[in-house]
Amino acid sequence: MSIRVHIGGRICLPEEAKISVFDRGFLYGDSVYETIGTAYGRLFALQDHLVRLERSAERIGLRVPPRAEIEKAVADTVAAAGNPESRVRIILTRGAGKLDLDPAAVDDTQMVVIVFPLGPPSPAMYEKGVSVAIVSVQRNSPNAIDPAVKSGNYLNNVLALGEARRRSGAYEAILCAADGSVAEGSTSNIFIVARGEVRTPGLDVGILDGITRSKVLDLCRANGIPLRETRISREELRGAEEVFITSATRGALPVTKVDDSPVGDGKPGPVTRKVMALYDVLARAGVP
């Protein structure tokens, strides 16, 4: 199990990977990123992640290296790390320059690729489910740092997760939008099952267009699972029959506690287990 970093055009050990203190990613969170997981030894949905990376970069006016260059850096770093399953983080920063907030002051995109062993969730977490807490920290307004942009400015989410962990030791924080409806987790999208129907907040609520979320939506549509993208209140989340969260490195992960109260009978429910099984079939087949 090892970590390798692609930085400055070469692959190195984590302790050798250094970035300038003048880098705007470090100074201002002026960067975009993606986290990709492998499944059955292959990168899952790499192309979807690269499209979203390019979209995020375009939204903040950050120049992106050619896609082939990023793909090669990812492939080479995954191979160098040699883990059975990997978590890959691609970071693009605007680069280093003078201490000047103006983004036009610098155009020196730096690409960093970090490959870790995949790590948790453990099988027990999938079997028993995890806990979430609805936090007071609000999801950013789409008029501020748009949640649709996967930028390196994650302080809001950092604080949200801190609140959830401090308050109840919850595994994930659930943030609400300005209208009070449920938005998403600090690093995940959220789904509930109500009256046998899978429901998830629509993109118009102001959330990240999760790659896993969209795969789950496709799987529900293709398999006749009733589905609705809709606003979800806190009460609906607390009273849901089933809850699960999704992200690239976790797939679909059952939630069995919301704000210290059990969801349904406190065990992952049948619809969640069905979605997990369908997702596993997709992961086994592979998505380029």
Provide the token pair at 62: 């950050």
Residue 250 or 257 with smaller CB distance to ligand PLP: 250
Least CB distance to ligand PLP at residue 251 (A):
9
Whether 150 is a known active-site residue: answer yes
Give the separation between CA 177 and CA 198, rounded to whole angstroms. Answer: 20
From the list 100, 89, 77, 87, the residue with the least C-alpha distance to 30 is 100
Of the candidate residues 134, 160, 211, 258, the single one contacting ligand PLP (CB under 6 A): 211
Asked if residues 265 and 240 have their Cβ atoms less than 8 Å apart, the reply is: no
Active-site residue, from 98, 150, 267, 274: 150
Angstrom distance (rounded) from CA 68 to CA 43:
15
Q: Closest approach of Cβ 26 to ligand PLP, in Å?
A: 19
Cβ proximity to ligand PLP, 176 vs 208, nearer residue: 208
210 touches ligand PLP by CB under 6 A: yes
- Tell me how far apart the alpha carbons of residues 45 and 82 are, in angstroms, rounded to a whole number: 19
87 binds ligand PLP (CB under 6 A): no
CA distance 8 to 281: 38
Contact by Cβ (8 Å): 134, 183: no
Please choose, out of 67-75, 182-190, 221-229, 275-283, the segment that lies near ligand PLP by the rule CB under 6 A. 182-190
Q: Does 188 bind ligand PLP (CB under 6 A)?
A: yes
Q: For residues 5-44, which are near ligand PLP according to CB under 6 A?
A: 35
132, containing H or E segment = strand 130-138
Q: Is the dihedral of CA 214, 211, 173, 284 positive or negative?
A: positive
Smallest gap from residue 246 Cβ to ligand PLP (A): 5
DSSP assignment of 78-129, as one string?
A: HHHH--SSEEEEEEEE--B-SS---GGG----EEEEEEEE--PPPHHHHHH-
Site for ligand PLP in 149-178 (CB under 6 A): 157
**Which of these ranges, 66-74, 119-127, 206-214, 255-263, lies near ligand PLP under the rule CB under 6 A?**
206-214
List the x/- string, 42-81, binding to ligand PLP by CB under 6 A: ----------------------------------------
Catalytic residues: 150
By the criterion CB under 6 A, which residues form the site for ligand PLP? 35, 157, 184, 187-189, 208, 210-213, 246-248
